[in-house]
Amino acid sequence: MNIRSLAKKTLLMVEPFNVEPIEGYIRLSLNENPTLPPMVVKTAYEKAWEYVNRYTPLEILEEFKDEVSLYNNVSSHNIFVGPGADSILTYIADAFLWEGKVASMLRFTYPVYAEETIKRGAKVDFIPMDDTFSSKLEDIIDHAKEADVLFLCNPNNPTGNLVIFTLEEMEEVLKVSKGIVVVDEAYYEFSGFSVAPLVSKYDNLIVVRTFSKGFAMAGLRIGYAITSPEIVDILSRVSQPYVVSTTSMVVATEALRYSRYAYENARKLKDSLYKIKQTLMGMGLKVYPSVTNFLVVEAPAGTWKRLRRNRVLTRLIYADMENRKEVIRISAGDRISVGKFLKVFADIVLEDK
């Protein structure tokens, strides 16, 4: 039997995600936080064991939403909880995208937006970016006028830069938008800038957050959205009950109570990235500005594959074979991993000269 012929055609238009190894590799490809959360958060993880035989109790959900509300200075009625930011993005696509709809996003941005749009038979519309990975506010505004869903990653992944710099700029976009505006703030703890204060004024705004980056809890898969009560209601109709584990919620609740560690980690990682940037620039390479836990470098063609052959994993953004160069994203890592990466990278660059 031809099983693929039975599958949804738009589903076959996207590639499945490949999970990357970690044993024996230097993994600087997933923008993970190399620092574990503090012991007080680990204690909460152990405490969660007493609920492992139960679906999440309402009290734990409400306690978590209360902490999220305090952290963001919004009402708990504006909080939707999901098993990671990616799942929330799929719920948004389920709720607001189908054949005939249009989703706009930056030309170089988090690929999940385009993938989830394509799966639902909707049209992907790219907002242009220049050779510094910047986009004009006027272009974003023009696309917002036509898009059923506008996806903005701010700071942007994989380029590391802010695309919206002020609440006033965000309001210019929201005032003309005809549909849903999604602002993915996965790297908020690094940039310190959020458009969440505008949720009370614009009921079509969804701010998506994760615990995977600043809070160093990627393995627990938990995230949330800050949005209007109407959108919370709609997303709750798309989501299945009890999809967020009790353990994740208990640990994330404690992490929010000690949120200063996320900002301390962010500062240390940005300091580490600065040193990497200086080293790469010392090799004569172009390094793009970043306000996140990763940076983007322009390297000789073939660098990404050669790094991988040396068991160093990074992310290839694009290859320009005509000019014999490629653009690579490098995540922050621990001191030993970064040292090994720089040695391998320097050898590759030296070979190319």
Beta bridge partners of 208: 184, 225
95 closest CA partner among 84, 108, 109, 80: 80
78 closest CA partner among 207, 214, 258, 223: 207
206 closest CA partner among 108, 113, 111: 113
Domain borders along the chain are 3-35+261-352, 39-259
Detail the DSSP E strand segments found in 84-218: 102-106, 123-127, 149-153, 180-184, 205-210
Q: What's the average model confidence in pLDDT over 301-314? A: 94
pLDDT of residue 271: 87
Q: Between residues 71 and 1, which one has the greater pLDDT? A: 71
Residues 177/203, Cβ–Cβ less than 8 Å:
no
Beta strands 26-27 and 312-313, pairing class: parallel
The pLDDT of residue 353 is above 90 = no
Give residue 252's pLDDT band: very low, low, confident or very high (50, 70, 90). very high
Beta bridge partners of 81: 224
SS3 112: helix
pLDDT of residue 272: 86
Residues 227/207, Cβ–Cβ less than 8 Å:
yes
pLDDT of residue 320: 76
The pLDDT of residue 77 is above 70 = yes
The pLDDT of residue 321 is above 80 = no
Q: What's the average model confidence in pLDDT over 18-43? A: 91
Beta strands 286-288 and 123-127, pairing class: unpaired
Of 117-131, 175-189, 205-219, 336-350, the range with the lowest mean pLDDT is 336-350
Give residue-wise pLDDT tens across range 51-67.
Answer: 999 999 999 999 999 99
* CATH architecture of the domain with range 3-35+261-352: Alpha-Beta Complex (3.90)
Give residue 18's pLDDT band: very low, low, confident or very high (50, 70, 90). confident
Q: What's the average model confidence in pLDDT over 305-333? A: 89
pLDDT of residue 324: 78
pLDDT of residue 206: 98
Contacts of 23 (CB under 8 A, 6+ apart): none
The pLDDT of residue 323 is above 80 = no
SS3 202: coil
As a whole number, the mean pLDDT across the chain is 94
35 closest CA partner among 158, 215, 186, 209: 215
Percent of residues, the chain, with pLDDT higher than 70: 99
pLDDT of residue 22: 84
Spell out the long-range contacts of 232-236 with Cβ–Cβ below 8 A and sequence spacing 24 or more. 232/77, 232/78, 232/79, 232/80, 234/95, 235/80, 235/82, 235/88, 235/91, 235/92, 235/95, 236/80
CA 31 – CA 157 distance, rounded (Å):
9
Residues 266/332, Cβ–Cβ less than 8 Å:
no
Q: What's the average model confidence in pLDDT over 241-268? A: 95
The dotted CATH code for 39-259 is 3.40.640.10
Amino acid at 196: A
